Structure 1
Amino acid sequence: MGANEDKGGKCGTICLKYLLFTFNFLFWLAGGVVMAVGVWSLVEKSEYISLLPSKTYAASAYILVLAGAIVMVTGVLGCCATFKEQRRLLRVYFVLLLCIFLLEILSGVLAYIYYQQLNVELKLSLRETMVKKYQQVDQDHVTMAVDKLQQEFKCCGSNSTSDWADSVWIRSSKANSRFVPDSCCKSLTEGCGNRDHPSNIYKVEGGCISKLENFILDHLKIIGAVGVGIASVQVIGMVITCCLYRSLNVDTL
């Protein structure tokens, strides 16, 4: 009877080992995906981050990059702990899984919070950023971001083209009598902003603020979904780790 129990216990341990190894391999791949999503969120439209009033969006993406890197290292550690059957390594592995779980939940929560407040923040800040910082000293990153935003999304001004009438740059001699920046033009040429006519410049209802908001919201949905999704899968890994830890003989310490 005892022999049968030992045999059954060993079979259960072996099954748990291979199950955890399979999980770790998939987990390692998931870490690459998480890190890739974080990097993509930062690099794909990095210029626009300078137009956002808070750093929550960037923080969410950085957390995903960090979590993804830790996940990949943890996946390797998990494989070592599994095949060496060392309870000490399994404890370290479990703690790392828990830390990653909390990081990804944090990323998802930050994305959700910023999702709720983005519209209000953009309405308060985007127009002021365009009016006060465009083409100003030491604000090249803002100028490039605004130009790219207007060209890429085919829009002009925060809410409308009339926003540019209050621009510090437009009202200065440096604008050379332009009504709007050249990046508002449908056909971008030097000085094309001198003609404020719908046939020449983009006149989009809602201006650039609605375009930027929709773009950021789409990215936040992806960040939140990836963070919470991978974190949910990790719960399975933690359960398997606990089961294997308990099934291993104390002598393996």
Structure 2
Amino acid sequence: MERNRRPRSSHDGCCNLRFLTVIVYFFNFLHFVCSLTLGLLFLWTFYFKWYFVALLPSYRYVQIATFCAILSVLLLGTFLFGYLALNKERPQLTAIYTLLLVIILLVECGTCLMAYSYYEQVALDLKSSLITSLIRDHSLVENISDAFRDLHRLGKCCGVFSFEDWRNSLWWQNVNDVQSGVTRGFDLIVPDFCCQTVINDCGQSDHPSNIYYNGCLSFLIRSVQEGLFVIATTTLAVSFVQLLGACFTTCFYQQMKRLLNVKRMVYNYNNAF
């Protein structure tokens, strides 16, 4: 009975080469899906979350979003290389493919950690930097002025902590100088974009029915943290897919090497006789 039992080969069991080939092809396709996901995430960040970048005290948010774009390109290249490696069925190419997956996995983990750490830090940074930008830079630095305008429009808010923040700003001093006051006949309390209904010189009245009283700080913090949370969770999910793919690819590489060794032994044995 024992002599009639055939030797166990690399095609036996739940982890045979054919089964692993299908699994690795599937995960390689998932890498393509992940590449598209990260690319769309970068576009979403660029079009819907980019308005406040000029108001941030550092470039960490921009760096994190840029890493998403870089990872998208790397994953697309790895997908194409993986397709080539699987078709060629060469262990060396499969080993390089696995190494690429591990490198990308490390970059994804780093991006996730960066997003999470900045998520915790951004509220503290904005509490000090945003009021400085409002007092010092609005109306003098164009991109910051545009960012404040978009922030007030989207957040339906006024100032940083309240509308009274504008009284301490260089904008207020410049717009309400003696010459402008004589020409206009009244002082502006807040910029027109603080008004609930924006019309020319509507910022002269601070009545609750005319302007927003709540500050923009909490809205900006929520917007930044929302973007960071989406980036962190997406890269974490993608890295989990990468980890599984790397594990199955490693098994595939081991089985392929084992099969080639068996074929080499059979070839040497046949040539010996």
Q: Does TM, normalized by the shorter one, top 0.5?
A: yes
Does residue 1:240 correspond to 2:256, yes or no? no
Runs of 5+ consecutive residues of structure 2 not aligned to the other structure: 181-186, 264-273
Output the amino acid matched with 1:239.
Answer: C
- Between the aligned partners of 2:10 and 2:242, the Cα distance in structure 1 is 30
Displacement of 1:45 after TM fit?
2.4
1:37-52 superposed matches below 5 A = 37-52=41-56
- Between the aligned partners of 2:117 and 2:7, the Cα distance in structure 1 is 57
Output the amino acid matched with 2:230.
Answer: I
Does residue 1:200 correspond to 2:229, yes or no? no
- Between the aligned partners of 2:11 and 2:216, the Cα distance in structure 1 is 68
Give the alignment partner of residue 145 of structure 2, picking from 143, 159, 174: 143
1:42–1:213 distance in 2 versus 1, CA, 3 Å: same
Output the amino acid matched with 2:25.
Answer: F
**Match of residue 239 from structure 2:** 231
> TM-score scaled to structure 2, two decimals?
0.85
1:39–1:214 distance in 2 versus 1, CA, 3 Å: same
Q: How many aligned residue pairs are there?
A: 247
Displacement of 1:39 after TM fit?
2.4
**Match of residue 166 from structure 2:** 164
Output the amino acid matched with 2:154.
Answer: E
> TM-score scaled to structure 1, two decimals?
0.92
Output the amino acid matched with 1:129.
Answer: S
Q: Whose radius of gyration is greater, 1 or 2?
A: 2
Displacement of 1:42 after TM fit?
2.5
Displacement of 1:2 after TM fit?
5.7
**Match of residue 35 from structure 1:** 39
- Between the aligned partners of 2:159 and 2:237, the Cα distance in structure 1 is 37
Runs of 5+ consecutive residues of structure 1 not aligned to the other structure: none
1:92–1:6 distance in 2 versus 1, CA, 3 Å: closer
Output the amino acid matched with 2:199.
Answer: T
**Match of residue 69 from structure 2:** 65
1:154-193 superposed matches below 5 A = 154-173=156-175, 176=180, 177-193=187-203
- Between the aligned partners of 2:251 and 2:37, the Cα distance in structure 1 is 27
**Match of residue 121 from structure 1:** 125
- Between the aligned partners of 1:88 and 1:17, the Cα distance in structure 2 is 16
SS of 2:172's partner is coil
Q: In the TM superposition, what whole-angstrom CA distance separates every residue of 1:79-130 from its partner, at most 9, and x where no partner exists?
A: 2211211112112211211121111111110111111111110101001101
**8 A contact 2:10–2:17 mirrored in 1:** no
- Between the aligned partners of 2:20 and 2:246, the Cα distance in structure 1 is 12
**Match of residue 100 from structure 1:** 104
- Between the aligned partners of 1:19 and 1:120, the Cα distance in structure 2 is 46
SS of 1:201's partner is coil
- RMSD value over aligned CA atoms? 1.9
Output the amino acid matched with 1:192.
Answer: C
1:7–1:168 distance in 2 versus 1, CA, 3 Å: closer
**8 A contact 1:157–1:163 mirrored in 2:** yes
**8 A contact 1:135–1:169 mirrored in 2:** yes
Displacement of 1:76 after TM fit?
1.8
**8 A contact 1:42–1:58 mirrored in 2:** no
Displacement of 1:4 after TM fit?
5.4
